[in-house]
């Protein structure tokens, strides 16, 4: 147990992964500021209306002071996106954001608090070494004892446990009443996003909503555990992606879906450049697929190279060389691509099941 904990808090990390997470959090910070900026531009200031601070001694700033705070937070968000003094900007964004959040209970949302908490934790990770404006190249990997990425992972598990626990102690959640009401409230939104109205109506009935509620509780408890188990991590990430995308389709959770998916990147194996994508440059489809991989390989896991003449290369449009040197072609190559490229990841489970049923596509010579 102690050995596993030591590996968790003192692991080699690649700055590129955290640079990507930092960029996403910066965009979400700026997105979250837009409603407040728009309201203030229309002359609407929450301090002029009913509001309840979390602490009685917390003084609400004047309109001009609040505008200055919003402007400062916007500037910090831009610095986070650009990677300029990113760690201090993340820390300051977290402090100022939490201050504003504490000014009014009526505007508190768990997703806003989660964003600010993740932002604060990532200030202790190597987030400004890549995807940054005018930064020197990052080393291939570094060691960061108990870095912010590890703390952020723990926080993700805490969110799942807290969410599942609050549902477990609420009989209205366990029997599906809350979920049925939520589905009914956001039925129009779900229809706008392509969910058939008949499906929403059926899910709102007592038995389906009860089963769905218990499934949600089980899923959250499973994710809190499985994300930390190497053998379960990829299935857990896929289940988590489907879980949050389903929530996004059927209800309104602001930016929580995209925040969670961005933070899932902290669980990605830091293996930049460990795989090779070989393509047939003599065919248009090969060149198109190579360009697609370059555009969607956000974690930079692949070295994209044209064929070097050999028996395997000449027989296939693409061949993926795995980390262990084995090669995958055909359907197995697409399964590997779906497993490692974020935009294709939702396709991983169905493709893997199909590959398992067909049992084809591997070639295993070492290279």
Looking at 144, 173, 205, the residue that finishes a domain is 144
Is 49 found in the same domain as 97? yes
For the cut 90, the answer to whether the pLDDT of residue 160 exceeds it is yes
pLDDT computed for residue 75 by the predictor: 96
Judgement on whether residues 139 and 225 belong to the same structural domain of the protein: no
Q: In this structure, are 21 and 102 located in the same domain? A: yes
Across the range 40-52, mean pLDDT stands at 87
Q: Do 281 and 231 share a structural domain? A: no
pLDDT higher than threshold 80 for residue 228: yes
What pLDDT does residue 173 have?
Answer: 84
234 in the same domain as 114 = no
Where in the sequence is the domain holding 182, given as residue range(s)?
160-266
In this prediction, residues 257-271 reach a mean pLDDT of 89
Q: Are residues 23 and 130 in the same domain?
A: yes
Residue 278 CA to residue 109 CA, distance in Å, equals 47
Mean pLDDT of 29-36: 92
2 assigned to some structural domain: no
pLDDT, tens digit, for every residue of 121-138?
A: 988 887 766 666 555 555
| Residue 18 and residue 140 in one domain | yes
Bridge partners, residue 304, by sequence? 277
Burial 253-280 (b: 16+ CB within 10 A, else e): bbbbbbbbbbbbbbbbebebebbbbbbb
CA-CA distance, 142 to 297, in Å (whole number)? 21
The answer to the question of residue 150 being in a domain is: no
Is 33 within the bounds of a domain? yes
Best CA proximity match to 89, nearest among 98, 80, 99: 80
Domain co-membership, 240 together with 165:
yes
Is the confidence at residue 314, as pLDDT, over 90? no
Domain final residue, candidates 98, 114, 144: 144
Q: With a cut of 50, say whether residue 139 has pLDDT above it.
A: yes
Q: For 316, left (φ over 0), alpha (ψ -120 to 50), or beta?
A: beta
Arithmetic mean of pLDDT, 133-152: 61
Question: Is there a single domain that holds both residue 187 and residue 165?
Answer: yes
Q: Does residue 143 surpass a pLDDT of 60?
A: no
In a domain, 5, yes or no: no
Alpha carbon 174 to its chain's center:
27
Residue 69 near residue 96, CB atoms below 8 Å: yes
* Residue 44 vs residue 269, higher pLDDT: 44
Is residue 151 assigned to a domain? no
Average predicted confidence (pLDDT) for the chain: 83
> What is the C-alpha to C-alpha distance for residues 118 and 132, in angstroms, rounded to an integer?
19
What's the total number of domains in the chain? Answer: 3
Q: What is the pLDDT of residue 367?
A: 32
Give domain status of residue 31, yes or no. yes
SS3 labels along the chain = CHHHHHHHHCCEECHHHHHHHHHHHHHHHHHHHHHHHHHHHCCCCHHHCCCCCCCCCCCCCCHHHHHHHHHHHHHHHHHHHHCCCHHHHHHHHHHHHHHHHHCCHHHCCHHHHHHHHHHHHHCCCCCCCCCCCCCCCCCCCEECCCCHHHHHHHHHHHHHHHHHHHHHCCHHHHCCHHHHHHHHHCHHHHHHCCCCHHHHHHHCCHHHHHHHHHHHHHHHHHHHHHCCCHHHHHHHHHHHHHHHHHHHHHCCCCCHHHHHHHHHHHHCCCCCCCEEEEECCCCHHHHHHHHHHHHHCCCCCEEEEECCCCCCHHHCCEEEECCCCCEEEHHHHHHHHHHHCHHHHHHHHHHHHHHHHHCCCEECCCC
Residue 317 has a pLDDT of: 75
pLDDT at 365: 40
Residue 213 and residue 100 share a domain = no
Residue 45 C-alpha from the chain's centroid? 32
pLDDT above 70 as % of the chain? 83
Distance CA 333, CA 318 (A): 8
Residues 312 and 246 both lie in one domain: no
58 Cβ neighbours under 8 A, 6+ residues apart? 102, 103
In a domain, 7, yes or no: no
Q: Which of 327, 332, 291 is nearest to 311 (CA)?
A: 327
- Which region among 79-88, 111-120, 279-288 has the lowest average model confidence (pLDDT)? 279-288
What average pLDDT does the segment 127-153 reach? 63
In a domain, 287, yes or no: yes
Cβ distance 167 to 213 under 8 Å? yes
Provide the terminal-to-terminal Cα distance of the chain, rounded to the nearest Å.
Answer: 37
174 shares its domain with 289: no
CA dist 200 and 250 (Å) reads: 8
Residue 140 confidence (pLDDT): 54
Position with higher pLDDT, 360 vs 51: 51
Best CA proximity match to 100, nearest among 32, 24, 21, 158? 32
**Among the three residues 114, 144, 174, which one is the final residue of a domain in this structure?**
144
């Amino acid at each position: 147990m102690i050995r596993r904990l030591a590996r968790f808090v003192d692991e080699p990390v690649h700055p590129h992964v955290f640079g990507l997470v930092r960029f996403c959090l910066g965009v979400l910070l700026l997105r979250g500021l837009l409603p407040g900026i728009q309201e203030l531009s229309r002359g609407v200031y929450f301090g002029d209306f009913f509001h309840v601070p979390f602490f009685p001694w917390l003084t609400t700033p004047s309109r001009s002071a609040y505008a200055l705070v919003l402007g400062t937070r916007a500037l910090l968000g831009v610095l986070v996106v650009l990677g300029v003094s990113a760690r201090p900007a993340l820390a300051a964004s977290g402090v100022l954001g939490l201050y504003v959040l504490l000014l009014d209970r009526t505007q508190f949302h768990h997703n806003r608090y989660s964003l600010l908490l993740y932002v604060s934790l990532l200030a202790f990770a190597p987030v400004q070494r890549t995807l940054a404006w005018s930064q020197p190249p990052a080393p291939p990997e570094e060691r960061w004892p108990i870095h912010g990425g590890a703390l952020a992972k723990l926080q993700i598990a805490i969110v799942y446990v807290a969410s599942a626990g609050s549902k477990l102690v609420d009989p209205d959640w366990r029997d599906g009443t809350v979920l049925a009401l939520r589905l009914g409230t956001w039925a129009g939104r779900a229809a706008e996003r392509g969910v058939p109205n008949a499906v929403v109506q059926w899910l709102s009935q007592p038995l389906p909503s009860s089963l769905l509620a218990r499934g949600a509780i089980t899923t959250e408890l499973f994710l809190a555990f499985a994300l930390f188990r190497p053998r379960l991590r990829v299935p857990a990430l896929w289940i988590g992606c489907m879980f949050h995308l389903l929530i996004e389709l059927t209800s309104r959770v602001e930016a929580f879906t995209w925040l969670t998916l961005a933070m899932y990147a902290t669980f990605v194996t830091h293996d930049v450049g460990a795989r090779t994508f070989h393509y047939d440059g003599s065919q248009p489809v090969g060149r198109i697929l190579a360009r697609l991989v370059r555009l969607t390989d956000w974690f930079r896991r692949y070295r994209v190279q044209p064929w070097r003449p050999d028996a395997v290369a000449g027989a296939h449009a693409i061949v993926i060389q795995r980390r262990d040197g084995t090669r995958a072609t055909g359907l197995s190559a697409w399964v590997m691509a779906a497993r490692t490229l974020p935009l294709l990841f939702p396709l991983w489970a169905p493709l893997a099941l199909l590959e398992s049923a067909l049992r084809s596509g591997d070639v295993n010579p070492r290279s």
